[in-house]
Structure 1
Amino acid sequence: MGSTEKEWRDTAAGAAVARSVLSAEPADCIPLIGFGGTHYAARQTHIALNTRGAFGHISHTREVTSLDAAMIDQMRERTGAVAAYIDRKAIPGKDLARLEGLLSERRIRPLNEGDLMHFGDMSWETYMRVLSLAEQIVPGCRVNLHGQCPDGQPVKIDLDPLLLEEAWRCSQNEFLDGLDTLPLIRLSTQKKPVWPSFITIGENSGNVLHDLISLCVNIIRRGEITFVEGDHLTVFRHRFDPGRARSLGIPPGPLYGQLMNGCTVRVGDREVTPDMVRTRSEKRIHIPGLEKFL
């Protein structure tokens, strides 16, 4: 309503707030405690308005340094929070590391904005089952929600590692954007942003796997020279070979860049085309029922 006694005495504003509270309907929210940001909690407000995240206690950036374990316990207990949101950009690195340590000790899981945006209709209990299954598949991994996940039983689906590798190599952004259209959970670690095992929810795992394979096949075919034969997708790649360039008398330097960009160069009285300094490699991927994914 405001920050001074003048606003607090505004009966019309008070009545509007009261009517809003009385007319509000309980929702299936995810109770959170929040950390970081200003007094006005802009990021937390955005999350509360656009996701199922609901905040009780929020500690802004200036207060984070004075928090201790007992205070965080009270924040959780009095809010009924099941997780935390941290405005990471608003908290200095040293304070952020300390806060993350306190939350980890109390087994309070941080959720980022992307997780909350993709939570869909998934219950917290289902999310806990997802975490348990993910830990069995890749111990210590992080789960990344994509699409709008329904509620239900988590199911593991596996993608051919070679197919995943080629699609990821072609276009990481296109692959991740494609995942956002599917009810999928991606597993990642610090050194490996995507594992070939995914988690989906419910009984449609076969359809989800079909769509995932189609996504990979289409990314590869758009980005590379490919050949389809039966159930095999062959990917051809051409790579600039410095050894071939040197053997043709081309010194390292700007001419290498021109050849790599597809330009013909001249060395003395001889023209050298890009094809003359390329090597070709190929990978053959077996995809049962490939025709269905084209």
Structure 2
Amino acid sequence: MLAIVVSRADSASEHVGEHLLDLADWEERVDDSRPDADGGATVYHLDDAELRFFDELHLETTRVADGFDDPDLLVFASRHAGETDELLTAHHTGNFGEAEFGGTDGSLARACPNAHRRVLEALAEHAPEEYEVGMECTHHGPSDVGTPSMFVEVGSDEAQWADPAAARAVASAILDLRGVAPDAPRENGSRRQLVGFGGCHYAPRFDRVVHETDWAVGHVAADWCLDAMGDPEANEDVVRQAFEASAADYALLEADRLALRETIAALGYRVVSETWVRETTGVPLGLVERAEDAIATVDEGLRFGDVPGAVDDAAADDEAAVPVDFDVVSISDDLLTEACGIDAEGVLDAVSESAVAFDTEQNGTRVVGPVAVRNASDRDRILDGIADVLRAKYDEVTRSGDELIARRQALDPERARMIGVPEGPKFGRLSSGESVEVDGRTIKPEDVSRERKRRFNC
């Protein structure tokens, strides 16, 4: 159930609340167990949502979820203040350091990464044309909400707080969260959720990750948050909280902070790169782990094929989901070097179409092997695709089992000189397959060429 909190001390929140009531067919109920100022009296219900009004500012509340009927997710409809003009934003709450604006020192509320990802999408769908949409780092209270929660906000000043189009966009985005889980499904004992460290308050890198990959982001500690926290080792409990409150096992760092990286590793979590996040998008995490163990890490060059086979459809959203079996096979270094020299992109396409995973170099643009395949037929298709690449240079390419032979007629410079062809442009024309005139004679390419053959053990 979705819980929605509106604050009467926040004009933007009240304005969003009015549009929330207008956008859905709410049932009014009376709750005499709580005072009106604390979410009681008139309460608004849908089958999967509940809306309550409070007198306090959001950041001053504590355990506000206790006022609702066992919610799965709680959203604070709020204002955003700053020098950011027209902005709709969402963020998690808590304090990495001192609690200057609500909450508790060094304490983080339970985040809702999956719902946060969805509300950013919904804000982008509903936002008036002049409004930007983005995420902020974790800041201000409350630290103790009682269920996964976030703020969804209209910014950034009086004009926007009173803007009905902005309020309606935020209200619509909040209602789009009905039925949305706070966390991504479990997968290989983990979730596609990250903790973000570093960068500026408005977190463009983590915003990019949410919009361009299938990963969600929980708590984000901007540079100023990390400065407020202090030494990571001395504040290990806060770093641990960031992962636990985000239901995350992975961290993405905006800048390489060695002490923070070491603390994260000591706590048993993994720092990953943006490349890792992008390359694992759409790839089962169990498959990622097995392929990295078998071949190389993503940062070392591992890449995944277009049809990895994923998981058994009967075992979704469960730690029991098992990635498809694969075998790691080799492909001749000489063959890959020759084919990549002709068309590296074509080789990459040929391997990607049939491989589960494979090793690369040069930022993932050049295949070097080894290759993980589901069966021998996949390897055969890869070799056939590489043979097609060779045909751009060779006149004939044949393959028998693990042997590939490439033949082509090529200019024999010595033979050309012997029959009087001068070195220079005429050599080039003959090499390109054109006939040339020499002392009144027509010299054809085949007159000065010989067969060159390369044999590759695949």
TM-score when scaled to structure 2? 0.45
Are residue 84 (structure 1) and residue 214 (structure 2) matched?
no
Q: Distance in 2 between matches of 1:100 and 1:259?
A: 60
Q: Find the partner of 2:217 among 30, 55, 59.
A: 55
Give the residue type in structure 1 aligned to 2:291.
V
Are residue 131 (structure 1) and residue 292 (structure 2) matched?
yes
Judged with a 3 Å threshold, the aligned counterparts in structure 2 of structure 1 residues 286 and 21 are, in CA distance, closer, same or farther, namely: same
**1:168-215 deviation line (CA, Å, top 9, x unaligned):** 344322221233323421112459932342124xxx333432332332
**1:208-263 deviation line (CA, Å, top 9, x unaligned):** 323323323444456632265865543102334444444434133x3333233222
Judged with a 3 Å threshold, the aligned counterparts in structure 2 of structure 1 residues 102 and 224 are, in CA distance, closer, same or farther, namely: farther
Q: Find the partner of 1:27 among 184, 207, 210.
A: 184
Query: For residue 179 of structure 1, what is the aligned residue in structure 2?
Result: 351
Query: For residue 157 of structure 2, what is the aligned residue in structure 1?
Result: 5
Query: For residue 115 of structure 2, what is the aligned residue in structure 1?
Result: none
Query: For residue 273 of structure 2, what is the aligned residue in structure 1?
Result: 110
Contact 1:260 1:274 in 2 (8 A): yes
* RMSD of aligned alpha carbons: 4.5
**Paired residues, what number?**
262
Judged with a 3 Å threshold, the aligned counterparts in structure 2 of structure 1 residues 180 and 47 are, in CA distance, closer, same or farther, namely: farther
Query: For residue 194 of structure 1, what is the aligned residue in structure 2?
Result: 367
1:4 shift after superposition: 1.5
1:85 shift after superposition: 8.0
Query: For residue 380 of structure 2, what is the aligned residue in structure 1?
Result: 210
Query: For residue 436 of structure 2, what is the aligned residue in structure 1?
Result: 265
Larger Cα-atom Rg: 2
**1:259-293 deviation line (CA, Å, top 9, x unaligned):** 33222223443433333443421124567xxxxxx
**Structure 1 residues without counterparts, runs of 5 or longer:** 87-97, 288-294
**1:70-126 deviation line (CA, Å, top 9, x unaligned):** 49x95974653515387xxxxxxxxxxx7497897666221428x636643512x44
State the secondary structure of the residue aligned to 1:24.
coil
Give the residue type in structure 2 aligned to 1:128.
E
Aligned ranges for residues 214-229 of structure 1 at < 5 Å? 214-221=384-391, 224-226=394-396, 228=398
State the secondary structure of the residue aligned to 2:366.
coil
Higher-helix-fraction structure: 1
Q: Once the two structures are aligned, what percentage of the paired residues are identical?
A: 16
State the secondary structure of the residue aligned to 2:372.
strand
Contact 2:206 2:217 in 1 (8 A): yes
Aligned ranges for residues 91-106 of structure 1 at < 5 Å? 99=256
TM-score when scaled to structure 1? 0.65
Judged with a 3 Å threshold, the aligned counterparts in structure 2 of structure 1 residues 229 and 206 are, in CA distance, closer, same or farther, namely: closer
